Structure 1
Amino acid sequence: MARSCAGPPPQPRRTAIRSRHSRTSIPTAAEAGAWAEVLVRHRFLHAAVLAPNGQWLVQSTPQAPVRVLDGAAALVDLAAQIQHHTRTTRNDTR
C-alpha cells in the first residue's frame, strides 16, 4: 500500500534567472549598443551615449545626473540589473 507524503503542496515552477556572471564571452560594443537602444526605447533610461573612449554615459531621467559606465560590460550589467529589478518587483498576476 502506498503512503502519501506529508507536507505542503508543490509550488508551480518558475523560470530561474541566470546569474549575470555566467557569460562565457566579453560583451561587445555592438551588444551594448543594442541594449542601450532597448533601454532608451522602453524608457528604462532617458539617454545612453557611447563616448569615443568606449565609456557609456547614461541618464535615468532628464533631471538625473549623468553616470559614466566603464565599457560595454558595465552597460550590459546595468541592463541585467534593470531586467532583474523589473522581473522581481512586478505583481504576480499571471
Structure 2
Amino acid sequence: MIPRPPRSSESTAAEASAWADVLVRQRLLHATVRMPTGQWLVQDHPDGPVRLLLGPADILALAAAITHHTRSTRPGS
C-alpha cells in the first residue's frame, strides 16, 4: 500500500458533511447533525447514545476509524 501524503490543510465543514452523509447512507451510522457551532451530534444506532464531536476533524477521524474497521473485518482481508 502506498502511504498518503500528510494533509496540507485543516478539515473543512463541506468535507465532513460529505463523509457524514456517506456514513449515514451506507448505514454505518444512524444519524449525524451539524450544529451551528460547528460541532456534530452523532448516533450509531437508533436507541444508542448521542455523542458530541467537536468539529470536522473529529468527523473525518470517525469516518477513517469506521472505514478501517469495516475493511479489516471483511472476509479475505
TM-score computed with the length of structure 1 as normaliser: 0.75
* Distance in 2, Cα, partners of 1:46 & 1:65: 11
Match of 1:84 in 2: 68
Residue aligned with 1:90, SS: coil
* Distance in 2, Cα, partners of 1:57 & 1:85: 21
Q: Does 1:52 align with 2:31?
A: no
What is the CA RMSD across the aligned residues, in angstroms?
1.8
Residue aligned with 1:83, SS: helix
Q: Number of matched residues?
A: 77
Match of 1:11 in 2: none
Q: Does 1:25 align with 2:9?
A: yes
Runs of 4+ in 1 over 6 A off after TM superposition: none
Match of 1:36 in 2: 20
Residue aligned with 1:92, SS: coil
More helix by share: 2
Gaps of 5+ in 1: 1-14
* Distance in 2, Cα, partners of 1:84 & 1:51: 26
**Cα deviation 1:7-64 (Å, max 9, x = unaligned):** xxxxxxxx35759xx3221110000000000000000000000011100000000000
Identity of aligned residues (%): 57
Gaps of 5+ in 2: none
TM-score computed with the length of structure 2 as normaliser: 0.91
Residue aligned with 1:23, SS: coil
